[in-house]
Structures are given as C-alpha cells and as structure tokens.
Amino acid sequence: MLYARMLAAYAEFLVVAIHTILYERGIYPAEAFAPARKYNFPVKQCRHGGVCDWVLTAVGECMRQIRAAAAAMAGGSAPNVARLAVVVLAPDTQRPLERFVFDVSGLALPPGGVAHERQTVLELDHASLDDEAGVAEQFRSCLARLVYAPASLGRLPAGCTFTVTLEFDAGGAPAGAGDAVWIVADEQPEPGGGARAPRTRPLRNVVLGPLSFGMWVEEAAAKGKLRE
C-alpha cells in the first residue's frame, strides 16, 4: 500500500510539473492556461482538454512502466526504467532543444522488497510518506525550481512542440512494447547535436524515505542559433 501511495503521489506531481513546463516555456499561449494552486503553490493548468488528456495518459503509462520494472525486480531482474524527460522540440527540425529530466530509477522498487535489507528500509520509511506536509513541501520546492529555471535558459524560438520520453537502462525494454501507446523513438542526439555537450543545470534532488528522485534540465548548446 505504501508503494501504491508513493507512485500515486508522484504521478500527481508529474502532471502538475508537465503543465508548469508547458506554461513556463511558452509551448502554448499564456491564455490557454488557467491559474490554480497545488501544494499551496500557484501553478498554471492548460485549459485544453486534449492536452490535459494527453498528459494524464502519458503520466499513467509512465507509472505503468515503473510498476512493471518493480515487478521485474521482485522477480530477480534488475529494474530498467531510468529517466522520464519532457523534451522541447525545434519547430522545423524536431530536434531536442531542452530536456527537463526526472530520474525515476529510484521509484522502481518492489512493493515488498526483494531482499531483507530493502524490505527493512521500506518499513522504516513509512513515517516519511505519512508526513503529508513534508511530501507537499518537497513537491512545492520542485515546482518552484521549474518556475524559476527559465531565467537561466536561453529563449526558445516560436512554434516549439514537446513530447514525453521514457529512457531505459542498456538492454532494457518497455513492458508491453507491442501496444499502440508507446512508440520506440528514433535515436535522437542529446541537446547540442553532438558537436558540443549540452548545458546541464541541476534543479533538485529529493530523498524522502522511499520517494527518491532527481531533476535537472539540459539545454542545447547550439540553441542560440535558433533564437529570434
């Protein structure tokens, strides 16, 4: 039950985080968003039903993959879900200009633990997730970092789009890869095009009992050539 609560809490945070990124990076016009509050923090939510449904579906599928990785780990296999990224794409070339990355490898823990040591950690950390105010405070701090991050990023060209990707460790593959929900992405270069390394800015690391994840943003080194 603790594990299910943890994933549900993180899924809810991811939905808000993605809406925040879409607003702060101007993927859609500002008037397409409505003011809201989450974790006692002012946020923006896209008004377009299609966008809301797409984000909910994407996050739900990400959680399904994390649960599948946890089940694989419980069966003795290594978890393979590594990172979730909100990728901002150039309007003409569809090349990645920015990647807001969430390290979710720490969430792929088996519900009961595969070893006594892991099970002990989960049992000892019940109090951490029972502290709802503490969890909300961590998520609030993460959202604040997403809101303030654009101040240190270069301006994006008009007409950018976005996608959500899941990255797997070497040799990993998504559960249910044959269904129509996920598309195996082309091998895209990291932001920067390979000639120059992307600029990486850490945003926040959270360790709250079993709820452990990191956030950072990668910016294409060549993005300045695309600015208006």
pLDDT beyond 70 at 130: no
Distance (Å, whole) CA 62 – CA 113:
21
CATH number at residue 17: 3.30.900.10
pLDDT beyond 60 at 34: yes
pLDDT beyond 50 at 125: no
Domain count, the chain: 1
pLDDT value of residue 154: 83
Bridge partner list, 103: 83, 214
pLDDT value of residue 182: 54
Mean pLDDT of 169-196: 55
pTM of the model: 0.83
79-90 in b/e burial notation, b at 16+ Cβ within 10 A? bbbbbbbbbbbb
- 57-110 pLDDT, tens digit per residue, is 999 998 988 888 877 776 666 557 889 999 999 998 889 999 999 998 888 765
Maximum separation of any 2 CA atoms in the chain, in Å:
57
Residue 50: CA atoms inside 13 Å, Cβ hemisphere, count?
2
Between these two residues, 193 and 174, which has the higher pLDDT value? 174
pLDDT beyond 90 at 196: no
- The residue segments making up the domain with residue 198 are 2-226
Using alpha carbons only, give the angle 167, 170, 173 rounded to the nearest 5 degrees: 60
Mean pLDDT of 141-165: 93
CB distance 211 to 203 below 8 Å = no
Between these two residues, 184 and 116, which has the higher pLDDT value? 184
